[in-house]
Amino acid sequence: MQESSGKHRYGNGEVKISKRNAIGKYQITKVALDEYNKYHKHKYTTNSLHNEWINKIVGRWTLHNGIRYFHNNGNGFGIIDSMLLGLNSYNYGIKNTKEGKIYFTYLLAIAPTYFNYFIVRRSHNITNVGSRVLKLKNINAKEIYIRELHE
């Protein structure tokens, strides 16, 4: 997972920050960093994300955590669905994903075949809530997620 341009530093070596304040190669946001710090009891700051190694471990953990959450606790989601929902949570937030908000233009761009299959199987549970967001019923498993954070 990384920003699509592949250009994460300016010519002077300074780390780029996106318009949405995502930092570095893995485009980590403050929300993702806070979740990582809470789970691992670290105190990394947004400035820490300028370190490529920290950016990488936070990014990989965020993606893995999203996939693992939906695979283990996602109301019977298989691995392909879990991967799509994990990717969605990496870019749109796990809270939004748990609430069933799917950033479909992103998922459609990176995995069109799997995403179309995912949508077709759940078409009776989907409503459009915005120009780029669908709402999928029955993903919310907040109690399970909170319990998982404290294992």
Whether residue 94 lies inside any domain: the answer is: yes
Is residue 11 a part of any domain in this protein? no
Q: Mention every residue, 6+ apart, whose C-beta is less than 8 A from residue 103.
A: 88, 91, 92, 132, 133
Helix (H/G/I), strand (E/B), else coil: 136: strand
Alpha carbon 87 to its chain centroid, in Å, reads 5
d(CA 112, CA 129): 20
CA atoms of 101 and 4, how far apart (whole Å): 22
Report pLDDT for 80. Answer: 80
Residue ranges making up the domain that contains 133: 30-149
The answer as to whether 4 is a domain residue is no
Is residue 48 a part of any domain in this protein?
A: yes
Has this prediction a pTM greater than 0.85? no
What pLDDT does 147 receive? Answer: 30
| Domains: count for the chain | 1
Tell whether 22 is covered by a domain.
no
Q: Is there a domain that residue 17 lies in? A: no
Residue 50: name the closest of 99, 101, 10, 19 by CA.
Answer: 10
pLDDT at position 53, please? 93
The backbone torsions φ and ψ at residue 22, rounded to the nearest 5 degrees and listed phi first, read: -85, 135
pLDDT single digits (tens) 89-141: 887 777 778 887 787 777 888 888 887 777 766 666 667 666 666 676 655 44
For residue 49, give the nearest of 28, 65, 63 by alpha carbon: 28
Q: What pLDDT, on the 0 to 100 scale, is given for residue 5?
A: 53
Of residues 96 and 46, more confidently modeled: 46
Give percent of the chain above pLDDT 70. 68
87 domain-assigned? yes
In this structure, is residue 38 part of a structural domain?
yes
| Of residues 72, 74, 61, the one with CA closest to residue 28 | 61
Q: What is the spatial order of strands in the sheet that 101-103 belongs to?
A: 101-103, 133-136, 126-128
Q: How confident is the model at residue 144, as a pLDDT?
A: 30
Q: How confident is the model at residue 50 (pLDDT cuts 50, 70, 90)?
A: very high
Higher pLDDT, 102 or 53: 53
Mean pLDDT of 62-89: 81
pLDDT in tens, 5-19: 556 665 667 788 888
